[in-house]
Amino acid sequence: MAKIEDFNFNGKKAIVRVDFNVPLDENGNITDDTRIRGALPTLKKILEDGGALILMSHMGKPKGKVNPKLSLSQIREAVAKALGRDVKFAPDCMTAQEAAKDLKPGEVLLLENLRFYPEEEGKPVGIDKADPAYEAAKKEMKERQKEFAKTLASYADVYVNDAFGTAHRRHASTAVIADYFDQQDKMLGFLMEKEVKAVDNILKDIKRPFTAIMGGSKVSTKIGIIENLMDKVDNLILCGGMTYTFAKAQGGNIGDSICENDKLDLALDIMKKAKEKGVNLVLGSDCVAGNQFSNDADTQICSVMEIPEGWEGMDAGPESIKAFRDVIVPAKTILWNGPAGVFEFDKFTTGSKAIADAIVEATENGAFSLVGGGDSVACVNKFGLADSVSYVSTGGGALLEAIEGKTLPGVAAIEGK
Ligand code: AMP
């Protein structure tokens, strides 16, 4: 596998899978350009070496059909501004042969949204999975996907994947395309390298003690990660909405708190496994309960085992926060995924803020801290602490799958595994 830092792009055309799936307002203006900025180190390296760039990305979910509202032409100017040079645009990603051929060193061509073609995702359209003809349609689509990837590959000499956000998908542009390049002509971009390294720090190069903090609303969506982490962590904090499934499983009265009644046995099983594996499982003992799911709720602090009817646990209480801090501050490796409460309401941010502060303190003392997966990133951004932790991942689903221990197709395709 080639390494981007060692590669000389001089005179080469590089096709780069970026994640330019940026949020747009109703007028097509970008509301957050983090993803464009994230790709810049890779793009600048290629241009400064004297290479030409062909950029490809998806935007939204057009489901294999052209949708002008999801056209990447809307971000062309922003990309040009970020790169400090003109950006040409190919309005159809399948007919860009001439435009690609004409590209000179230092020039940039942006392809239209890859997902305007169903071949990008490779899923048959307009046919139900239960239909007897589905398997044949799937097979046919896989063949079409190969042709689609081959056409994209024909535009360039080198393939770079820098889109961590889609690395958990085996799509034409994220994985299949890699088959059409020799091992020395395909590589991960700088952003992808950083993400992969951050996951390795958490799963392989662990410095102890290792504390993982899993929050959010449900235990069911986190079970794969919890199970994989159980073999690795010293301390496992389970907080947020899951707290109440555990409390109920242990016979607690949880009032109107969020609860997965079909996961009570699973909660008890997690507690048993933690004990067997010698993992210190830290569950919230008290909470801030509200009498309605709103920022205007009246609040009271109570035990998670005795929440009155008509009230629901919406944040971690002071005793829980202290217990969380006790295992976060001394930790040397920290993973945080999911808030400790309904942090969207200012009244219920205390638990999540306390976790973020404790992580920052540990990081200052030399810990490696990785924050990732949707809402915990929103949390550290809300508290202005994104620069005070070691790494904030850009990948939601991809990060979570990597932490579950799954091989990401986007990474495997480059590494030839
Ligand atoms: P997830 O997507 O599973 O990581 O869940 C994130 C969501 O969990 C956020 O929108 C939080 O508001 C929500 N959440 C955290 N704690 C609670 C709670 N105690 N009750 C209800 N929702 C919660």
Position 145 scores a pLDDT of 98
Least confident of 26-40, 141-155, 316-330: 26-40
Confidence band, pLDDT 50/70/90 cuts, at residue 375: confident
Question: Cβ(377) to ligand 1 under 6 A?
Answer: no
For residues 17 and 169, give the distance between their C-alpha atoms in angstroms, rounded to a whole number: 13
Written as one string, the DSSP assignment of 249-289 is HTT-EETT----GGGHHHHHHHHHHHHHHT-EEEE--EEEE
Q: Which pLDDT score is estimated for 18?
A: 98
Q: How far is CA 50 from the centre of its chain?
A: 32
Distance (angstroms) between ligand 1 centre and the Cα of 242 equals 9
Give dist(CA 368, CA 207) in Å, integer. Answer: 8
Which of 217, 246, 320, when mutated, tests ligand 1's pocket best, judged by the most ligand atoms within 8 Å of its CB?
A: 217
- Ligand 1, residue 341: give the atom nearest the CA: 16
In short, whether 375's Cβ falls inside 6 Å of ligand 1 is yes
Query: What pLDDT score was predicted for residue 34?
Result: 87
- 217 in ligand 1 pocket by Cβ < 6 Å? yes
Contact (CB, 8 A) for 392 and 379: no
Q: Which residue's CA is minimally distant from atom 2 of ligand 1?
A: 216
Asked if residue 290 has its Cβ within 6 Å of ligand 1, the reply is: no
Dmax (CA) for the chain in angstroms is 71
Which atom belonging to ligand 1 lies closest to the Cα atom of 215? 4
Tell me which residues are annotated as active site.
35, 218, 374, 397
- The yes-or-no verdict on residue 416 having pLDDT over 90 is no
Mean pLDDT over residues 61-84, rounded?
97
Task: Calculate the CA dihedral of residues 110, 115, 117, 123 and round it to 10 degrees.
Answer: 150
Q: Which atom of ligand 1 is nearest to the CA of 314?
A: 19
pLDDT of 32 above 90 = no
Determine if ligand 1 sits within 6 Å of the CB of residue 170: no
> In the predicted model, what is the mean pLDDT of residues 369-393?
91
Sign of CA dihedral 27, 33, 39, 44: positive
Q: Quote the CA–CA distance of 309 and 316 in Å, as a whole number.
A: 18
CA of 258 from ligand 1 middle (Å) equals: 9
Would you say the CB of residue 229 lies under 6 angstroms from ligand 1?
A: no
Mean pLDDT value across residues 362-369: 98
| Nearest atom, ligand 1, residue 338 CA | 4
Residue nearest to atom 15 of ligand 1 (CA): 341
d(CA 194, CA 369): 13
Query: Residue 223 Cα, ligand 1 centroid: separation in angstroms?
Result: 15
In this predicted structure, the answer to whether residue 417 has a pLDDT above a threshold of 70 is no
175 lines ligand 1 (CB under 6 A): no
Q: How far is the CA of 101 from the centre of ligand 1 (A)?
A: 50
Q: Is the CB of 62 under 6 A from ligand 1?
A: no
With vertex at residue 290, the alpha carbon angle to CA 284 and CA 296, rounded to the nearest 5 degrees, is 135
326-360 pLDDT tens trace: 999 999 999 999 999 999 999 999 999 999 999 99
Sheet holding 158-161, edge to edge: 88-90, 108-111, 52-56, 13-17, 158-161, 186-188
CB of 95 shorter than 6 A to ligand 1 = no
CA of 229 to the centre of ligand 1 (A): 20
pLDDT in tens, 190-214: 999 999 999 999 999 899 999 999 9
Q: Work out which ligand 1 atom sits closest to the CA atom of 343.
A: 12
For ligand 1, is residue 218 a contact (CB within 6 Å)? yes
Integer-rounded Cα radius of gyration of the chain: 24
The token pair at 43 is 């793009």
Six-digit token pair at 245? 């499934």
Tokens of 144: 């079409």
Distance CA 269, CA 45 (A): 50
Q: Give tens-digit pLDDT for 144-196.
A: 999 999 999 999 999 999 999 999 999 999 999 999 999 999 999 999 999 99
pLDDT for 354: 98
Mean pLDDT of the chain: 96
Which amino acid is present at 322? K
